Amino acid sequence: MTDTVKYLLDEADIPKQWYNIAADLPEPPTPPLHPGTGQALSPSELEPLFSRGVIEQEISTERYIDIPEPVRDIYRQWRPSPLFRARRLEQALDTPARIYYKYEGGSPAGSHKPNTAIAQAFYAREDGVKRLATETGAGQWGSSLALAGSMFGLEIDVYMVRVSFDQKPYRRAFMESFGANCFPSPSDRTNAGRTVLAETPDSRGSLGIAISEAVECAMERDDTKYALGSVLNHVLLHQTVVGLEALRQFELADDYPDTIIACTGGGSNFGGIVFPFLGHQLRGGEAVDIVAVEPANCPTLTRGKYAYDFGDTAHLTPLVKMHTLGSNFVPPGFHAGGLRYHGMAPLVSQCTDLGYVTASAYDQKACFEAGLEFARAEGILPAPEANHAVVAAMEAARACKVSGESRAILFNLCGHGHFDMPAYMDYSAGRLHDQQYNEEDMAMALAGLPSVAG
Amino acid sequence: MTDTVKYLLDEADIPKQWYNIAADLPEPPTPPLHPGTGQALSPSELEPLFSRGVIEQEISTERYIDIPEPVRDIYRQWRPSPLFRARRLEQALDTPARIYYKYEGGSPAGSHKPNTAIAQAFYAREDGVKRLATETGAGQWGSSLALAGSMFGLEIDVYMVRVSFDQKPYRRAFMESFGANCFPSPSDRTNAGRTVLAETPDSRGSLGIAISEAVECAMERDDTKYALGSVLNHVLLHQTVVGLEALRQFELADDYPDTIIACTGGGSNFGGIVFPFLGHQLRGGEAVDIVAVEPANCPTLTRGKYAYDFGDTAHLTPLVKMHTLGSNFVPPGFHAGGLRYHGMAPLVSQCTDLGYVTASAYDQKACFEAGLEFARAEGILPAPEANHAVVAAMEAARACKVSGESRAILFNLCGHGHFDMPAYMDYSAGRLHDQQYNEEDMAMALAGLPSVAG
């Protein structure tokens, strides 16, 4: 038995500004393009979709952007979040590595997602918006926006990927508890949904399809905007509160990470924990090894192309430059629904392309095995998404045992697994398999990327 | 929109001692009796059941008892827990009341239960115990002991009330994730269980039956002790970290509660938040109105007798003096499984008998309605047990609106509802009814109380 080591911050240490990596990159972020003209979109062209506050942030290259007080005020409910030194896990692994994890599961939705949901709901209300439409995979994001909507008096419509809608009725009930409307996607409420259903009546859905439905719903009504839980610059910006706090906490620990490991689906968890440290490096500070971990069944960074593509299946979104498996690629159903997206955040993609990031992919069984080992050592059961970071961190710690190096390894435990017990039950009962995506489908989807000079 | 007000403490402010109300009561606590002889039990007679560390605490009248460092060390993972001023709820209710809630849902099991589970597992390990057997209703307690067992290398056997075992498979999976064994109760593993099954093959179980099974399991094996999640003096003692922190936090708030409201099943949540304040009053400090809230379907304090009774159905436990509905009373199934117990902690019963506590009872529909209103205002979805405190606190706040008084109301939000979504789904779908207990059954159970001079 070794000590629990927790690095807390005072409320006053909740960041007052978000950090924008665009300010420190050696080249400007790639702009979103109009799919018809191939020209960079102007801010006003984004207005049918997004509220003005987030559009400003989407294109900003300012290094720091003030967090509005009403947002910071709600952050206070669960922020600053703790940084733990995983001493029991180190002992269990008998490793000289120093393993640290930031824990975002203490938020009222159980994950890091409220960091941006609260901000997006705030800017929507400031802009006179009455309703936000969004998609959700595993339900973490939908839950968070439902919560944020109830705080700011907004109506929330959530299009939930069919496979998750069926697997996770409790996530849906959680959203409804906060007054949100939750629809399985593909639905018959939108052209995008009806088109998919016509071709594939039993479609399990995907984030790409659900995004199309939410975008369509936002474009149809003046009082409705669209909210995205990941991928976009402003979403990653809001999540940097995680990494900014961690930077301060490492000062308290009198240590600094050698390696940062982050699971990545759309990229918001990754950007949140990594960018403040990467920015520090780009400004001449300590260098850090950065590892992005994705599911082997949806290997965007490790198998995708870095190219302009649509963010959704029905091609309603602007084109963004990102690592993508093709917007028509529908990944097999697996339990880390929050990582089941064909694309990757443009900023994460760019950082990977610039060589700052090493990407790796893990099968889900290995992830669950690591998650249970982590739980039994540290007492917290991680969400399946977070298990991707856990498995990679444990592997890095085991490598330290072999090499004898004492490296400091940081990862973000982005959510708890209290809503994910069916997945753990499947794993424990041996019902969980490492289903392989279809190579032909992926090749076809990649071949179908839009032809735009990127 | 009003400010979030959170009163945090520093890690150094995690209490170093538990508070023992027995030191400040005007009369000694009532002793447990041997059911055969009717004589007060000696500490050594409790040793087949409990580890020595907790037996000492069970009979102690010392005011403060040191928290062992390894226990305090694990507390650090989620303690000190925050005290919130519920400003948004106050605004929604348009009340002059000042509503405060302590939030215990941030623990790794999602409730206050780890406060005693960690301590009990520690003392068991100190005593050379290999295995702890216990019961669980809703699963909060079993989850917490499972977690504590994994921290201290103990095997954990959990007898889970059948109706909860069926309703809450995810709670079971959570326990199993931490390596615990979980059996539906009544089971065929014990004489107690087999006896019930012979009479009622489709028995839904009760805490009283599950306790019998766990006690029997502990008595059969030398390396196994019994652990109880509530009722006993040492359990309430461990929970006083909640109220002790709250006392400090009210200093930070420069305020003091006029009313403390606590839900109560076995009494551990109640004792945890109330006793430090009540002790302060008994030592001549500020007086406070204390309200115990129980489910109308299991109205121990409001309808029970204050008498010596068995803690379990098979009559394997010592006799304890408490408010009881009779050990043979099986309450109807309802969703706050943690409150579904025929008895009440002897210390809570004694405080009620001494006139320090007002008891009230609420039907579950009113509780869920209040819980959803709370969630939409404060952003946290409470466990069904906690909703009993929420509804009473909201009623007290509404009374302030009528009277114009600005009273300070404190309650403990003892757990989050992330595992209780089926209950919320039932409520929202109109499938949840206020089933009434059977008056004749209760009268018979009360008539069957053991005849012991009390």
All residues of chain B having their beta carbon less than 8 Å from the beta carbon of residue A372 are 177
Nearest to A407 by CA among A7, A88, A99, A4: A99
Contact B375 A150 (CB under 8 A): yes
Whether cis (ω within 30° of 0) applies to the bond prior to B299 is: no
Q: Is A8 near chain B, with CB under 8 Å?
A: yes
All residues of chain B having their beta carbon less than 8 Å from the beta carbon of residue A171 are 421
Residue A55 has pLDDT above 50, yes or no: yes
Contact B361, B296 (CB under 8 A): yes
Give the number of other CB atoms < 10 A from CB of residue B253: 17
Q: Tell me, what's the pLDDT at B82?
A: 93
Q: Tell me, what's the pLDDT at B1?
A: 45
Residues paired with residue B18 on neighbouring β-strands, in sequence order: B65
Q: Is A91 near chain B, with CB under 8 Å?
A: no
Touching B: A residues 247-306, CB under 8 Å: none
Contact B77 A4 (CB under 8 A): yes
- Give the mean pLDDT of A367-373: 97
Q: What is the pLDDT of residues B182-193, one digit of tens each?
A: 999 999 999 999
Nearest CA in chain B to A3: B73
d(Cα B221, Cα B133) in Å, to the nearest integer?
10
Contact A137, A338 (CB under 8 A): yes
d(Cα B301, Cα B264) in Å, to the nearest integer?
9
- Where are the extended beta strands (E) located within A90-222? 98-103, 131-136, 155-161, 181-185
**Secondary structure of residue A378 in the 3-state scheme:** helix
Whether cis (ω within 30° of 0) applies to the bond prior to B80 is: yes
All residues of chain B having their beta carbon less than 8 Å from the beta carbon of residue A170 are 170, 418, 421-422, 425
Residue A43 has pLDDT above 60, yes or no: yes
CA distance A354 to chain B (A): 38
> Which among B147, B173, B376 has CB closest to A150?
B376
Query: Rounded to whole angstroms, what are the CA distances from B411 to B21, B98, B270?
Result: 19, 11, 9
Q: Tell me, what's the pLDDT at A49?
A: 94
Measure the CA dihedral A250/A93/A293/A429, to 10°: -130
Q: Tell me, what's the pLDDT at B446?
A: 93
Contact A178 B108 (CB under 8 A): no
Give the full edge-to-edge strand order of the sheet including B5-7: B5-7, B83-85, B98-103, B408-413, B259-263, B289-295, B358-362
The 3-state secondary structure of A270-327 reads: HHHHHHHHHHHHHCCCCCCEEEEEEECCCCHHHHCEEEEEECCCCCCCCEEEEEECCC
Contact B84 A74 (CB under 8 A): no
Contact A8 B10 (CB under 8 A): yes
Helix axes B346-353, B233-253, angle to 10 degrees: 60
All residues of chain B having their beta carbon less than 8 Å from the beta carbon of residue A78 are 106
d(Cα B376, Cα B366) in Å, to the nearest integer?
16
Q: Tell me, what's the pLDDT at A200?
A: 94
- Pairing mode of beta strands B155-161, B181-185: parallel
Nearest to A109 by CA among A85, A135, A134, A74: A74
Q: What is the pLDDT of residues A223-240, one digit of tens each?
A: 999 999 999 999 999 999
CA distance B246 to chain A (A): 17
Q: Tell me, what's the pLDDT at A334?
A: 81
| Domains of chain B in sequence order | 5-14+67-110+239-441 (3.40.50.1100)
Q: Is the ipTM of this complex over 0.95?
A: no
All residues of chain B having their beta carbon less than 8 Å from the beta carbon of residue A417 are 177
Residues 6+ apart with CB under 8 A from B288: B256, B257, B258, B259, B260, B277, B278, B281
Nearest CA in chain B to A417: B174
Contact A4 B73 (CB under 8 A): yes
The token duo for A442 is: 């992926």
Residues 6+ apart with CB under 8 A from B401: B93, B94, B95, B96, B97
Q: What is the pLDDT of residues A252-290, one digit of tens each?
A: 999 999 999 999 999 999 999 999 999 999 999 999 999
Contact B3 A73 (CB under 8 A): yes
Residue A2 has pLDDT above 60, yes or no: no
Q: Is B429 near chain A, with CB under 8 Å?
A: no
Residue A1 has pLDDT above 50, yes or no: no
Contact A264, A43 (CB under 8 A): no
Contact B84, B98 (CB under 8 A): no
> Which among A70, A77, A417 has CB closest to B1?
A70
Could you tell me the pLDDT band of residue A132, with boundaries at 50, 70 and 90?
Answer: very high
Contact B74, A5 (CB under 8 A): no
Touching B: A residues 358-397, CB under 8 Å: 372, 375-377, 379-381
CA distance B453 to chain A (A): 46
The token duo for A208 is: 């790409």
Terminal CA-CA length for chain A: 54
Touching B: A residues 111-170, CB under 8 Å: 147, 150-152, 169-170
> Which among A1, A170, A424 has CB closest to B173?
A424
The token duo for B62 is: 């010392």
Q: What is the pLDDT of residues A425-451, one digit of tens each?
A: 999 999 988 878 889 999 999 999 998
- Where are the extended beta strands (E) located within A20-168? 64-66, 83-85, 98-103, 131-136, 155-161
Contact B77 A110 (CB under 8 A): no
* Mean pLDDT, chain A, integer: 94
All residues of chain A having their beta carbon less than 8 Å from the beta carbon of residue B10 are 8
Contact B51, B100 (CB under 8 A): no
Contact B425 A173 (CB under 8 A): yes
Interface test with B, best of A140, A177, A181 (most B CBs within 10 A): A177
Residue A341 is classified by DSSP as: -
Contact A418 B422 (CB under 8 A): no
What is the number of alpha carbons within 13 Å of residue B421 lying toward its C-beta? 21
Q: Is A200 near chain B, with CB under 8 Å?
A: no
Q: Is the dihedral of CA A39, A42, A44, A46 positive or negative?
A: positive
Nearest to B89 by CA among B397, B442, B429, B441: B397
Measure the CA dihedral B137/B310/B236/B89, to 10°: 50
- Give the mean pLDDT of A125-154: 95
**Secondary structure of residue A56 in the 3-state scheme:** helix
Nearest CA in chain A to B415: A108
The total number of residues written for chain A in this structure:
454
Q: Tell me, what's the pLDDT at B189?
A: 97
**Secondary structure of residue A164 in the 3-state scheme:** helix
The token duo for B283 is: 């030592």
Number of CB pairs < 8 Å for A and B? 120
CA distance B23 to chain A (A): 32
Q: Is B428 near chain A, with CB under 8 Å?
A: yes
Contact B379 A170 (CB under 8 A): no
Contact A425 B169 (CB under 8 A): yes
Nearest CA in chain A to B106: A106
All residues of chain A having their beta carbon less than 8 Å from the beta carbon of residue B425 are 169-170, 173
All residues of chain B having their beta carbon less than 8 Å from the beta carbon of residue A88 are 151
Q: Which residue ranges of chain B lie beneath pLDDT 50?
A: 1, 454
Residue found under tokens 């000696």: B42
Q: Tell me, what's the pLDDT at A68?
A: 98
d(Cα B304, Cα B446) in Å, to the nearest integer?
8
